[in-house]
Amino acid sequence: MLFACHAPCWGSGRRGHAMNELQLRGLIEEVRDGKLPRRAFISRMIGLGLTAPMAAQMLAFSGVPANAADKFVYKPTKRGGGGPLRTLWWQAPTLLNPHFAIGTKDQDASRIFYEPLASWDPDGDLVPVLAAEIPTIQNGLLAKDGLSVTWKLKQGVKWHDGQPFTADDCVFNWKYAADPATAATTIGAYQDINVVKLDDYTIRVQFKKPTPFWANAFVGTLGMMIPKHVFEPYSGAKSREAPANLKPIGTGPYTFVSFNPGDLVQGKLNPNYHMPNRPYFDTIEMKGGGDAVSAARAVLQTGEYDFGWNMQVEDAILKRLSAAGKGRVLITPSGNIEHIQLNNTNPWVTVDDQRSSIKTKHPFLTDPAVRNSLNLLVDRLAVHKYIYGDTGFDTANFINNPEKFRSPNTHYDFNVAKAIKILDEGGWKPGADGVRQKNGVTLHMVYQTSINAPRQKNQEIVKQAAQKAGISMELKSVTASVFFSSDVANPDTYSHFYSDLQMYTTTMTQPDPGQFMMQFLSSQVAQRENKWQGRNITRWQNLDYDKLWNQSESELDPVKRAALFIAMNDLVVKGVVVIPVVTRPAVSALAGDLRAPISGWDNTTYALQDWYRA
């Protein structure tokens, strides 16, 4: 018997995929036994085309209680005693200042030591960390007019060097991140607000206009607090000189032991941590390097490590490794998107001592005929079916979650013949070597991504289709630790974008697309002037898009605001600024006895203090 779903989920390009009854019943039993989170099951069913209510009904019909494995429960009754926690981040961190993190691995490593006022849990709900409580209209901390939010801080929290955490630290983080001279990646969350200290343990964030999404500054990946007394001497232009960029002093569950950039982070239990009976583990090791398959094998098959991050591994390999019984794969819903970026600037010309300058124009990727043809040459269904399986679903949208922001107006098609027709009509004619040319310009593209087996296979799928259409592609693969490096002097990082095309996953670290869609703003273009820390990597500039995004920042009606983000998504997708490939849930490998809450809306390490061994 086959269980097949054919209702579209990720856009009209999605197709149904079959799951046999035995597999389905096995997943339901995993939910019943607490091995698979309820929300992960529902996410997988949505990927097959079911709605969330239908998936919930399947569990109910099978006798699984509505609250089964739904909320994480921390069971240890004392601090420490858990021994070492050994984790693998195959994309190794290169720095430990959260305000400079341009890659997820730097954010995750920073979160070992630094904490925000509040975090996003797996359900997209705010939970307090350094805050005493979450602001609401009911408790009087959230203004009804959307112009301010008041944060009450937890008292008694100390930095790892024994100094108290106070409102002065919050005000400092605001000034530090908002200063353009700092060149912080978090500047977008802080530059348009004002922060006032009301007393030693209370701050008020003031907005220039009504702000519907107020939980941006001081929250989640953008909210990790650094200490004023340590970093103030290195503010502004001197920010990169701070020794603490590599030797963190935070408030988190673990204190700093050692850091070898691109290799290893080590921490030990914080005996003065502000949450009772936490952390459970005595030490933590975040080992970098290698590749995703090796990391998966070390957790799932050999049991050498307790946790493996970002299992971007072919679905068939994950299933085979999991069969060893040493660990399990955890799939968590998220808004992450694997996509191909098209460079709007010329990466082969140097202007003002930098390539891909906004003063240049790409010689052929600004031609709609070329962009539209490329969009038809990406076989998303094949990438899903033969590479990612349950860990990546083909999509036509850049925003895929939460559902209310998902556009119903897009679709994708894989059609080489149609791509050829578009190029012919656009004046791109095959040369003697079969590669298309126009006005002396040849359609030869350099297509780069990080070294990772699924990505190299994805590149090959696109290259083969492009070749049939008369487009020459040179594939470039960069070591992940280099590609995602925060080193501003490294020309091979994705933020420099010194190629025609590039592919990677953008993570959506909030259940709201405001910060996520900032990456297409004209004001966020990555250039030498901002140390390539701007979030707009494609260098695409569009006044209509900027207007929509600015409107969303003050639109308090949730329905109208969702419509604005759908319009933004449609501009980006239909204009082929990027080509969405697969929407990727967060996929982790856990030792069989490790209990770890993972959120698709925050850092993987967002609740590291709650990890324990059962």
- How many angstroms separate the CA atoms of 251 and 231, rounded? 14
Residue located via tokens 């420099």: 496
> Rounded to the nearest 10 degrees, how much is the dihedral formed by the CA atoms of 343, 345, 347, 348?
130
pLDDT 10s digits, 445-458: 999 999 999 999 99
364 domain residue, yes or no: yes
- How many angstroms separate the CA atoms of 332 and 219, rounded? 20
- Average pLDDT value for residue range 222-237: 96
Least confident of 20-24, 81-85, 226-230, 346-350: 20-24
- Average pLDDT value for residue range 6-13: 35
- Average pLDDT value for residue range 392-409: 94
Residue 463 sits in which domain range?
334-586
pTM: 0.80
What is the model's pLDDT at position 20?
61
444 domain residue, yes or no: yes
pLDDT 10s digits, 303-319: 999 999 999 999 999 99
pLDDT 10s digits, 107-129: 999 999 999 999 999 888 899 99
What is the model's pLDDT at position 592?
95
- How many angstroms separate the CA atoms of 461 and 260, rounded? 36
What is the model's pLDDT at position 156?
97
Q: Which residues have C-beta within 8 Å of that of residue 128, sequence separation ≥ 6? A: 117, 118, 134, 154
- How many angstroms separate the CA atoms of 2 and 489, rounded? 54
The three-state secondary structure class of 493 is coil
Rg (alpha carbons) of the chain, rounded to whole number: 24
pLDDT band at 13 (very low <50, low <70, confident <90, very high): very low
User: Residue 165 is which amino acid?
Assistant: F
Does residue 300 register a pLDDT over 80? yes
- Average pLDDT value for residue range 255-270: 96
- How many angstroms separate the CA atoms of 325 and 136, rounded? 45
297 domain residue, yes or no: no
Q: Name the DSSP class of 131.
A: B
pLDDT 10s digits, 42-69: 766 766 655 555 566 567 556 666 554 4
Residue located via tokens 């059609």: 415
More confident residue, 319 or 103: 319
- Average pLDDT value for residue range 558-566: 93
What is the chain's percent helix, strand, coil content, to nearest 5? 30, 20, 50
Both tokens of residue 388? 């990612």
CA distances from 155 to 142, 202, 209, 277, 582 (A): 20, 10, 31, 18, 44
Least confident of 11-25, 285-299, 326-340, 462-476: 11-25
**Contact of 377 with 465, CB cutoff 8 Å:** yes
Does residue 282 register a pLDDT over 90? yes
Chain centroid offset of residue 596 CA: 19
- How many angstroms separate the CA atoms of 366 and 360, rounded? 11
571 domain residue, yes or no: yes
467 domain residue, yes or no: yes
21 domain residue, yes or no: no
User: Residue 325 is which amino acid?
Assistant: G
What is the model's pLDDT at position 2?
26
Residue located via tokens 């040369």: 431
What is the model's pLDDT at position 16?
38
What is the model's pLDDT at position 12?
38
- How many angstroms separate the CA atoms of 381 and 116, rounded? 39
CA distances from 546 to 118, 367, 396, 539, 543 (A): 29, 21, 22, 13, 5
**Contact of 304 with 298, CB cutoff 8 Å:** yes
pLDDT band at 486 (very low <50, low <70, confident <90, very high): confident
DSSP H or E segment with residue 442: strand 441-442
What is the model's pLDDT at position 565?
96
pLDDT 10s digits, 493-543: 999 999 999 999 999 989 999 999 999 999 999 998 888 888 999 999 999
Does residue 225 register a pLDDT over 70? yes
CATH code of the domain containing 547: 3.10.105.10
DSSP H or E segment with residue 584: strand 578-591
- How many angstroms separate the CA atoms of 129 and 143, rounded? 21
Residue located via tokens 């950039």: 261
> How high is the mean pLDDT of the chain?
91
Least confident of 7-16, 19-28, 143-152: 7-16
What is the model's pLDDT at position 483?
92
pLDDT band at 1 (very low <50, low <70, confident <90, very high): very low
Residue located via tokens 């982070």: 265
Both tokens of residue 296? 């998966």
603 domain residue, yes or no: no
- Average pLDDT value for residue range 548-573: 94
Does residue 600 register a pLDDT over 80? yes
325 domain residue, yes or no: no
Does residue 323 register a pLDDT over 70? yes
Number of domains in the chain: 1
What is the model's pLDDT at position 8?
31
DSSP secondary structure letters along 209-257: S--S----TTBGGG-----HHHHGGG-GGGGGG-GGGTS---SSSEEEE
What is the model's pLDDT at position 50?
58
DSSP H or E segment with residue 331: strand 327-342
Does residue 372 register a pLDDT over 80? yes
**Contact of 216 with 205, CB cutoff 8 Å:** no
- How many angstroms separate the CA atoms of 192 and 472, rounded? 44
